[in-house]
Chains A and B, each alone.
Chain A
Amino acid sequence: MSAREMLFYADAIVAVMTAAMVILHRNPVVCALSLVLHLCSMAVFFLLLDASFLFAVQIILYAGAIMVLFLFVVMLLDPGGEGVAGRIGKVQLGATLAAAVLLLAGVARLLPGLAGAGAPEGAVLPPGFGQAGDLGRELFTDYLLPFEIASILLLVAMIGALYMGRKETS
Chain B
Amino acid sequence: MIPLGAVLLVSAVLFLMGAVGVLIRRSALVIFMSIELMLNAANLAFVGTSRHLGSIDGQVFAFFVMTVAAAEAAVGLAIIIALFRRRKTTDVDQVSFLKW
Contact = CB atoms under 8 A, between A and B. Distances in A.
Real complex partners, A and B? yes
Interface of A: 2, 4-5, 8-9, 12, 15-16, 19-20, 22-23, 28, 31-32, 35, 38-39, 42, 45-46, 48-51, 53-54, 57-58, 61-62, 65-66, 69-70, 73-74, 76-77, 79, 82, 84, 87-88, 92, 95-96, 99-100, 102-103, 106-107, 110-114, 116, 119, 121-126, 129-130, 134-135, 138-139, 142-143, 146, 150, 153-154, 156-158, 160-165, 168
Most buried by B among A39, A114, A134, A162: A114
Dominant secondary structure at the A interface: helix
Contacts of A49: 2, 7, 47-48, 50-51
Interface of B: 1-10, 12-14, 16-21, 23-27, 29-30, 32-34, 36-37, 40, 43-44, 47-48, 50-57, 59-60, 62-64, 66-75, 77-82, 84-85, 89-91, 93
Given A73-B29, A161-B78, 11 more contacts: A22-B34, A31-B33, A62-B36, A65-B70, A73-B81, A87-B26, A103-B13, A114-B9, A124-B54, A153-B67, A164-B78
Nearest to A130: B59
Contact of A69 (B4, B73, B85): B73
B52 A123 contact: yes
Contacts of B48: 49
